[in-house]
Amino acid sequence: MTTEQVDSNVYMVLSATKKDGFLKASSCFLIFSQDKIIVAILSKEMQNSESRKMQEQIKAEGKGFFKGAAAMMNFWSNFSNRYYDLSPEEILQEESSNFMIINNEVEKIVFKPADRNDNSGKSLGELVIFAQNNTIKTTHQYSDGNKNIKKVLESLYGKRLKYKGGFSIQVGGNKEGFQ
């Protein structure tokens, strides 16, 4: 982990699962800025603590079961947005396992979008970061249909980005010309 002072403007936050070993994985957020990536781990303790806080808030607001469940789902689906407002120091101090990689230490990034057109269901995408002394392997659920993730990663890493896939061919179906 580097402690160098860097720009704190966040370009993108991706929710992912970081592979920690053969059968071990951690939920995490990859926070991309102009000159760094911060990996923020969502530990079970933090998840339970945040859920308890939200449950207390739901109770205090007097929400019933269904509105409370909807509020909890909304809370977790928007949880990553908080990283746009936190400083890098605050994110790194949140969990002892959080760390950052300076962008000029990144040798290569491989991004493979999730496949949502597979008949057997949705397969996970991959994002692998190769840094000087570290390889971080993650899986995610982003199909990147609008190519916004690709655009951000290209702007940050240029030729160091290897973008796999991202296109699909549909044979038959209801698309124009195949009716």
pLDDT averaged per 10 residues, the chain (length 179): 53 93 90 95 90 89 87 86 92 94 95 74 88 92 90 95 68 41
Structural domain boundaries, residue 91: 10-45+81-163
Q: Does 34 map to a domain?
A: yes
pTM (predicted TM-score) = 0.79
Tokens 């400083």 — which residue?
87
Instruction: Please check whether residue 153 is in contact with residue 40, taking contact to mean a CB–CB distance below 8 angstroms.
Output: no
Predicted local distance difference test score (pLDDT) of residue 121: 60
Collect all residues with Cβ–Cβ distance below 8 Å to 96 and sequence separation of at least 6: none
Give 161's strand partners: 109
CATH code of residue 21: 2.30.29.30
- Alpha carbon distance 122, 20 (integer Å): 23
In-domain check, residue 22: yes
Q: Does any domain span residue 146?
A: yes
The answer to the question of residue 71 being in a domain is no
Strands 25-33 and 10-19: antiparallel
Residue 177 has a pLDDT of 39
**CA separation for the pair 42, 86 (Å, rounded):** 15
* Long-range Cβ pairs for the range 73-79 (8 Å, 24+): 75/50, 79/50
Q: Select from 11, 53, 16 the least CA-distant residue to 128.
A: 16
Residue 108 lies in a domain: yes
* Centroid of chain to Cα 148: 14
Q: How many structural domains does the chain have?
A: 1
pLDDT at 176: 44
Indicate whether 57 belongs to any domain. Answer: no
Residue 132 lies in a domain: yes
Residue 51 lies in a domain: no
CB contact at 8 A, 26 and 53:
no
